[in-house]
Structure 1
Amino acid sequence: MSTVSSAGHVLLATDKFKGSLTAAEATAHLAAGLRRAVPGLGIRTVPVADGGEGTVDAAVEAGFARVLTRATGPTGVPIEVDFAVRGETAVIEVAEASGLRRLPRGEAAPLSASSYGTGELIRAALDAGCTRIILGLGGSACTDGGAGLAQALGARLLDADGEELSPGGAALTRLVRVDLTGLAAIGELIVACDVDNPLLGPNGAAAIYGPQKGATAEDVALLDAGLANWAKVISISTSDADFARVPGAGAAGGIGFAALALLGARLEPGIDIVLDLADFPAKAAGARLVITGEGSLDAQSLRGKAPAGVARAAARGGIPVIAVAGVCTLTPAELEAAGIRAAYALADIEPDLDRCILEAGPLLEQLAAGLLVATLTGAA
């Protein structure tokens, strides 16, 4: 049996292992493996997310209450959804009402999918008395520039005949005028965003993320044209700056743009928001080690994802960080530059990737009970 110093606890702050474990499940399995190998070890858990799927769950783990309601799915089908509330603050995920996982039978609808349901969730939070909305972007099925969201909050999008536009990004090519007189006011809107794409062009919402939502090359061109028209009409109607160029405007199919241009939002890294909600500094105080991770540690992990954000936060307290993952493609130098001392992957102990996905929980416990103990004893 390994022995370690009793000084300081270990803080587990992992994101989900997509397709295998939620963030809470991942931290629970890690904790089980560590306790089995190191009886009496002090452990605290802070399941985290980067603003995409899992952000509401992370808020609930941090003490928010889960609120159930109904909203319109990305293709117009009513669905059961939830958001989180604590006091006057609400946490909402775009993926919950307008996400790819909400597509009926998984059938993509790149031209007609809408963000309307996300607007309904914001409306529900406002009706519940919330004056501060945290909106997690990521996992969206739509490329409508947030037009549906705006419609759900009272904006009217009109074509040349004065008729309301149909849902989806393709319809935006027919947009002539917007009526914002009925648009709901939001006290404070904070957008959790982990990408820096603008709304338009080769690095924009349609070009970069459209294919992931089923868009063909022709669809991408049509969607980009619709978004360009949407941005032009909004700019004329509001006489504001060109928000289409702002990094992050292209997030979640352009919902970032609508949040900035119409709702006065400010964009912040999603992981930083979640760590703040969870009071990470207080839970990390006195820790001897922080363990973070996610399903795949790769180059994308270094660009605003949870592990890099956790490492930054831990560094402020001088706490060493190691990471766990299903697979890791980062070099030791890249890990070190991100503030991560070492990384351990399920693929290191189980070369069958299918088994890594299906049996991620037990394998994570095995990883914790084996390879991680060496780090813990070394940090004693």
Structure 2
Amino acid sequence: ECISSVSLSSLIAEEFDDFPDAELILKPISDGGDGFLDVCRFHFSGKILNYQISTPYDNSELICPVLYNIDSKTIYIESADLLGLKVVSAEFRNPLKLSSKGLGELLLKIENDVSSGKININKIIVGIGGTATIDMGIGACSALGLKLFDVNDKEILAIPENFNKVEDIEWDNKTFPFRIDLIIDVDNPLLGRTGAATVFGQQKGASESDIVILENGFNNIRNFLQNKDITDSSNPTFGAGGGIPSLLYLLLNAKIRRAKDFILNDLGIGRLKGKVDFVITGEGAFDHQSLMGKGAGIILQEFEKRSSKIFLLCGIIRNEVNKKLPDNIFPIEINSFFQNKDESILNIESGIRLACIKIKNNL
């Protein structure tokens, strides 16, 4: 991403300092992906705690920040900070070999801090998005005791390239002294044409043959879970974050929450309905998926009938989506101020300032 939601909000506020008739309410949002932790820190404040966990691709370690809000007894985690494309360099982006084990390790370390009295929480909220992994959350659960066995009853590494070899699964129910909420922004099932591997695999480095292996492996794991009476694997949200919600929901009783719920209720956007004259929101590339649970799409749906004008800032907006927008929504493409996409990325702050001038001229 070129600019975070929090930085974008601050920049827009600066540009409206000389606009006396406007009272701006800053409410940066996140639908669970990159920037989730910054948004949570803006809204909830708190203390940043750092935990040392394994990277998704080997046994080397990375430092993962989390936000601890003492008053609400809540820890906020951005999955992209420990499993994301931003922490997995291009040379390691092979989803067949990547594991979400770091998430399981992080949960255990937080549990240890709760047990020792270092922190006091009753809830963890995890923003799911921007992940490099596509492993159903099996890696996370492997750090919590889940084991996979092949036809020779030999334990095998819990990574996707081995899922089709699994002949047995061992799991001792693990419980935590806190609730786990997963914030998801997509309605994709785990399997099939709109599933985790098929839809998101290529952008995470998977080839067509890799996607077939992933799909077959997921099917195999699902069958074993069903044989153990662990059902409901058809949940329409299980494809988010490389399938992480599936195993965390089925084995850890995690609660799956839509980004819309988090944005409107936790971030307080819903309390602004009917109280604002215009809205400024945005997204890097605005397309049909943006209207299906993504942050900017949620804002448009909530305010298009309640505000006189909505200004949609985006790097680019797909023409087929632009044509369907209501008359009170004004899209502004940052790319249109520059010669090409690369130039607009390098000069994103200048582009935002030019967009703000355009907004003020239309108020």
Q: TM-score, normalised by structure 2?
A: 0.88
Q: Distance in 2 between matches of 1:108 and 1:196?
A: 24
What residue is the counterpart of 1:46 in the other structure?
Answer: 27
Q: Distance in 2 between matches of 1:126 and 1:316?
A: 45
RMSD: 2.4
Higher relative contact order (CA 8 A, sep 6+): 1
What residue is the counterpart of 1:241 in the other structure?
Answer: 231
Q: Distance in 2 between matches of 1:178 and 1:319?
A: 56
- Code of the residue aligned with 2:183 in structure 1: it is A
- Code of the residue aligned with 2:66 in structure 1: it is F
- Code of the residue aligned with 2:133 in structure 1: it is C
Q: C-alpha offsets along residues 275-318 of structure 1, whole Å, 9 cap, x if unaligned?
A: 42222244667332221111122222111111111233435865
How far residue 348 of structure 1 moved from its aligned partner, in angstroms, is 2.9
Q: Structure 1 residues 211, 329: CA separation in 2 closer, same or farther (over 3 Å shift)?
A: closer
How far residue 34 of structure 1 moved from its aligned partner, in angstroms, is 2.1
What residue is the counterpart of 2:345 in the other structure?
Answer: 357
Following superposition of structure 1 onto structure 2, how do residues 193-204 of structure 1 map, counting pairs within 5 Å?
Answer: 193-204=184-195
What residue is the counterpart of 1:69 in the other structure?
Answer: 51
What residue is the counterpart of 2:130 in the other structure?
Answer: 139
Q: Distance in 2 between matches of 1:359 and 1:70?
A: 35
Q: Please, which of 82, 102, 113 is the counterpart of residue 98 of structure 2?
A: 113
Which piece of structure 1 moves more, 185-194 or 165-174? 185-194
Q: Tell whether the 8 Å contact from 1:48 to 1:271 is kept in structure 2 after alignment.
A: no
Q: C-alpha offsets along residues 127-174 of structure 1, whole Å, 9 cap, x if unaligned?
A: 444332222222221221110011122323333444433141111122
Q: Tell whether the 8 Å contact from 2:187 to 2:292 is kept in structure 1 after alignment.
A: no
1:225 aligns with 2:216: yes
Unmatched segments (≥5 aa) in structure 1: 1-17
1:90 aligns with 2:80: no
The SS at the match of 2:169 is: strand
Q: Structure 1 residues 138, 111: CA separation in 2 closer, same or farther (over 3 Å shift)?
A: same
The number of residues matched between the two structures is 352
How far residue 78 of structure 1 moved from its aligned partner, in angstroms, is 0.8
Runs of 4+ in 1 over 4 A off after TM superposition: 282-285, 315-320, 330-333
Q: Distance in 2 between matches of 1:319 and 1:130?
A: 42
Unmatched segments (≥5 aa) in structure 2: 115-119
Which piece of structure 1 moves more, 264-273 or 291-300? 264-273
Q: Structure 1 residues 315, 361: CA separation in 2 closer, same or farther (over 3 Å shift)?
A: same
- Code of the residue aligned with 1:53 in structure 2: it is D
State the identity as a percent. 25
Q: Distance in 1 between matches of 2:216 and 2:358?
A: 52
The SS at the match of 1:364 is: helix
Q: C-alpha offsets along residues 15-47 of structure 1, whole Å, 9 cap, x if unaligned?
A: xxx2x11111111221222224x1463222111
1:60 aligns with 2:50: no
Following superposition of structure 1 onto structure 2, how do residues 1-380 of structure 1 map, counting pairs within 5 Å?
Answer: 18=1, 20-36=2-18, 38-39=19-20, 41-65=22-46, 66-76=48-58, 77-86=60-69, 87-104=72-89, 106-127=91-112, 128=114, 129-185=120-176, 187-237=178-228, 239-243=229-233, 245-282=234-271, 286-314=275-303, 320-330=309-319, 331-336=321-326, 341-368=329-356, 370-376=357-363
Q: Distance in 2 between matches of 1:125 and 1:54?
A: 21
Q: Structure 1 residues 371, 104: CA separation in 2 closer, same or farther (over 3 Å shift)?
A: closer
Q: Distance in 2 between matches of 1:191 and 1:313?
A: 22
The SS at the match of 2:344 is: helix
The SS at the match of 1:133 is: strand
Q: Distance in 1 between matches of 2:307 and 2:15?
A: 25
Q: Distance in 1 between matches of 2:192 and 2:316?
A: 32
How far residue 125 of structure 1 moved from its aligned partner, in angstroms, is 3.6
Q: Distance in 2 between matches of 1:45 and 1:98?
A: 29
How far residue 122 of structure 1 moved from its aligned partner, in angstroms, is 2.7
Q: Tell whether the 8 Å contact from 1:131 to 1:187 is kept in structure 2 after alignment.
A: yes
Q: Structure 1 residues 61, 176: CA separation in 2 closer, same or farther (over 3 Å shift)?
A: same
Q: Distance in 2 between matches of 1:251 and 1:177?
A: 25
Q: Tell whether the 8 Å contact from 1:332 to 1:342 is kept in structure 2 after alignment.
A: no
- Code of the residue aligned with 2:12 in structure 1: it is L
Q: TM-score, normalised by structure 1?
A: 0.84
Which piece of structure 1 moves more, 356-365 or 85-94? 85-94
What residue is the counterpart of 2:117 in the other structure?
Answer: none
